[in-house]
Structure 1
């Protein structure tokens, strides 16, 4: 029988969920059949990735009406309304039409990267996930988890995979579902670190305000140093002209995987002052390239702990905090690079792809056998 992975986007979007899908499928055990159910939605290809890989046994495509409303995601309030009001309403009206377009006869387990779509897969064993909600243990995340445990939402989801650092969410979901804590993973990068005299900072991600890029650029405008450089990789509403007046900022745009690997490997510090994320793949990728990590304080629960304090700095995503951290790291280049080595050791212990995929597929097998 098959595992179906459901995406609301096209793989060529190249964001965190799409990369998680590619990494997970590449590590499937022998005999595991995987069906990808995705859409044709790709407002932009954020990275250059292969959209046809042999690890998929079958691909099915849905054209979702609600994807035409994704422009609302530029606003946090409208994005919240889209996920929690508009999409549930659309699914209530069109679920039967969507279901008729799917061939699920060979599917026994469905993994959702967006939990709202559980209604399309009734009758199957459904695994919900942490990819697009429950980003922290905050009030709204706890409220939604309580709505689930009370049987009000996501009624047919009986299993959940959650990321580390959501102990309260895990406890609430666990009142109704069987929960497995599994992080994201990626492959180890073979980096021959040859960084120069400048301290090289790197941002990789969507170039949208919610990912903290605008705050980072505002901080960089205030930087008085000449011994720092910033590479910016990704695509979004912020374009190259937004960077043209900044000193030592290199706008890379969309790059191939090979080029992205080279950029990671030449960087000293991965700086990611995001305003919302669940468990960013890019932080894991930067660890695998021996980068010191600077990110937002609200992610401390996901990545925090005694070991990570040696190579991760959690800051408030504001101009002064970012500027202070950049100056501190540039002054202590040698120590900064030592912390990058510690990040790699932590990565190999916790996020190396083979280890993470083993955890994931053991969970899938457990679900299948129950």
Structure 2
């Protein structure tokens, strides 16, 4: 009875699996290698071409697609090991073209379909992502490069540690020996056997291990990304390829490069970068470049809040406040608007010209004495 109850409980909790085994799809076991299939061309009035035409006719959708492509390019540049300084934005020259991706060829494999009623050999398509992941895993160059970087770093660190020469007159700390306490009891042989002895590694070896692990991790990540780009699957059916040139600016470096990005026209956030080739790079050296977006500076640090204690108002301030309240409480009287009065101005009299020099009376001369 107990076994029957446990069986019923297991079937109840796994009823989805039982339903799938009995009534739905059978189990598929791969029995052969993958092989490529021919690509199916687009139809003249197919949904892929209709969606692409809608994208090209709508200017707002094109602007949003361009912004999504540039955002994907920006993320790839900031994640790379290229030091451009602080990000400032994109600048001219800039152009971008859209084209519908060619229909990709597929992959298929033979499977053994196992069900309760039949046992058949069928052929099913394989997703392109699975093909790419299998190609990357089966390509051992990244793992070999990571192990080589780790062993090289360890060997160099140990070699430098053993061949390091002490400089002349270097300080050597004295050896400190502590005497055992007089009241300490002698330990038995059993306690010494039970106490685990863990050897401590020198600090130099620990630092060397950390450096070797970091170098191996960086090399492995770099090689895996290279293998990923090398084995990147073609764009899915109906995606759009954006091809163009862009100039981006940082505080230390300005770059001009070509890019090739595929995105989903129904969801611009789904992007795949297929190529980024540097065409030109220049050190900034203080030159000013106008960008399409404002520089993203860090926010200013918060200022400390000063707690001020309330002070008692002085008598002069109280008197001034009372006088202000009394002025505010008095009713305001309406004043008659004053009209400016213009006083008459007398006409200007013309000035006489000065008399000629002949008519000007000469001063009388004093008589001469004889």
Give the shorter-chain TM-score range. Answer: under 0.3
Give the structure-1-normalised TM-score: 0.14
Give the structure-2-normalised TM-score: 0.14
Bigger proportion of residues as helix? 1
Report the structure number with the largest CA radius of gyration. 2
Q: Which has the higher contact order (CA 8 A, sep 6+)?
A: 2
